[in-house]
Amino acid sequence: MSFRSLDEILNKSEETGKAFWQIVMEDDMNERAVSSRESFEKMRLLYESMRNANAAYNKDLLSASGLVGGDGEKVSHALKEGKLLSGPYVGETIAKALKMGENNACMKRIVAAPTAGSCGVLPAVLLTYEEQKQADMDRMVEAMFVASGIGVVISIRAFLAGAAGGCQAEIGSASAMAAGALAYLQGGSGEAIAHASALTLKNLLGLVCDPVAGLVEVPCVKRNVVGAVNAIASADMAIAGVRSQIPPDEVIDAVREVGEQMPRTLRETGEGGLAATPTGREIAERVLHK
């Protein structure tokens, strides 16, 4: 991609009068030498795959380790019973984030967005929006381009892999991408999109990658929830006119700096944090040597 910063996308959008998502799509057209129709269609297929993956959730499946499964259904059930404080919109988002994370851990088909471990954030946020607001499919695909543009800039200025920069690089990035997409869907300007992602990243700055037994299960599945809910909160702030006091591109640079300082034990090695707790070690022993 030819953009090294969110500012560049915003400037180009201002110069040409084209929307944020169009600038991102044109960059893909240029990179892969494809038409706008081909680029849009490819993104539409990914969105549909997210929808299908969500529909294919099976509450009875358990992951190979037995640690993950059935939680999304519990939240759906509690939501139906009216027991959730967060209400139907956020409650549905929570349930969907868990379900997709569980799909992934149970070897079902998912869309990496940006990674497999963080695959629940974007579909939770986008599918819930589409359902509850009866949004048009094309708008959802446009929002996917917005999300991708943000992800590309993060991949260039910082990282998207837990092994490289901790969980802030995975769930943090997914959350920033989702927040920008939501800000767009709610009619936010390019500036609002960039600040929604900045606010999201600031909230998850420093989050470590400490998977128990090295598996994409604990705490990964549930962190998809915080990524999704954080995206909604940040998009709402941005739409209300709240701005990050630190400019969005500088926030992304801070993610890189923090990630680089993160010890190896907290970067997807399964040797620190939750993985190193007595229970975490016990689980690892049980799972890996069974």
Partner 1 sequence: MNVFEVMGPVMVGPSSSHTLGAVKIGLTARQLLQEEVQSAEVLFHGSFLATGKGHGTDKAIIAGLLGIKPDDERISDSFRIAEERGMKFSFGGTELRHAHPNSVLLKLVGKGGRKLEVVGSSLGGGGIKIDKIDGLDANFCACYPTLIIHNVDQPGHVAEVTSMLGRYSVNIATLQLYRDKRGGRAVMVIECDQEVPEEMQDRLKKTEGILKVTYLSMEEKDEFPIIR
List binders of partner 1 among 221-280 (CB under 8 A): 270
CB nearer to partner 1: give 80 or 264. 264
Give me the least distance between CB of 206 and partner 1, in Å please: 21
DSSP H stretches of helix in 158-277: 162-165, 167-185, 190-204, 220-239, 248-261
Q: Which of 208, 210, 207 is nearest to 270 (CA)?
A: 210
**Interface residue with partner 1, options 95, 97, 201, 216 (CB under 8 A):** 216
Question: Where does residue 134 fall: left (phi above 0), alpha (psi -120 to 50 degrees), or beta otherwise?
Answer: left
Q: Quick one: which segment of 113-121, 132-140, 229-237, 245-253 binds partner 1 (CB under 8 A)?
A: 113-121
Closest distance to partner 1 from the beta carbon of 240 (Å): 28
HSE of 124 in the Cβ direction (CA atoms, 13 Å)?
40
- 111 touching partner 1, by CB under 8 A: yes
Q: Could you tell me the two tokens for 228?
A: 């999704």
Interface segment toward partner 1; rule CB under 8 A; list 11-19, 61-69, 76-84, 129-137: 61-69
Count of residues touching partner 1 (by CB under 8 A): 51
Residues 6+ apart with CB under 8 A from 85: none
* Nearest C-alpha neighbor of 158 from the set 101, 201, 100, 124: 201
Cα 46 off chain centre by: 14
State which of positions 125-184 bind partner 1 (CB under 8 A). 144-145, 147-149, 151-152, 155-156, 160-161, 163
User: Interface residues for partner 1 in 11-50 (CB under 8 A)?
Assistant: 24-25, 27-28, 31-32, 39, 42-43, 46, 49
Count CB neighbours of 237 within 10 A: 19
Residues that bind partner 1 (CB under 8 A): 1, 24-25, 27-28, 31-32, 39, 42-43, 46, 49, 63-65, 103-117, 119, 144-145, 147-149, 151-152, 155-156, 160-161, 163, 213-217, 270, 287-288
